[in-house]
Amino acid sequence: MTDRQTKQTQMSIFKEGITVHALNNLSPNTMVEHLGIEFTAIGTDFIEAKMPVDHRTHQPLGLLHGGASVVLAETLGSVAATCCVDMSKQYCVGLEINANHIKSARTGFVTGVAKPIHIGGRTQVWEIKIHNEKAELVCISRITMAVMDKK
């Protein structure tokens, strides 16, 4: 491991032990699994997932449903927020989400990347950008999360 890789690992905003495999193991029997969302990467300050654009995520005109984009965004923001807290003591829940749909998609996959805007003790704000396979922006979303103490 290089000095740069070591520094990046030490600077991660996420708790130790968070892996793509572990995140994908959270999906069975959820909407995440139903829509085919798959976590694909974790960096020092981002989490990435992809979602198919197919019969599960289309609206009646054959385009990616805006609600499916919001599900991808909320999944990424919620999981990312949770990965930043001590899960034995706290959990995160959504307070507000918004989305701007920029471009349509009909086939293939879209990929979302969640990055933090604010990570505080009681709230977190995450930006999620969703791109198509041509790297064109399809949707941009922002989610505000409440950090709750377990009782």
Is 74 known to be catalytic? yes
**DSSP label at 15?**
P
Q: Among residues 74, 96, 127, 136, which one is catalytic?
A: 74
Question: Check: CATH 3.10.129.10 for 3-149?
Answer: yes
Domain boundaries, the chain: 3-149
Q: What one-character-per-residue DSSP string does 23-71 give?
A: HHTT-TTSHHHHHT-EEEEE-SS-EEEEEE-STTTB-TTSSBPHHHHHH
pLDDT by 10s per residue, the chain, length 151: 454 444 444 689 999 889 999 999 999 999 999 999 999 999 999 999 999 999 999 999 999 999 999 999 999 999 999 999 999 999 999 999 999 999 999 999 999 999 999 999 999 999 999 999 999 999 999 999 999 999 8
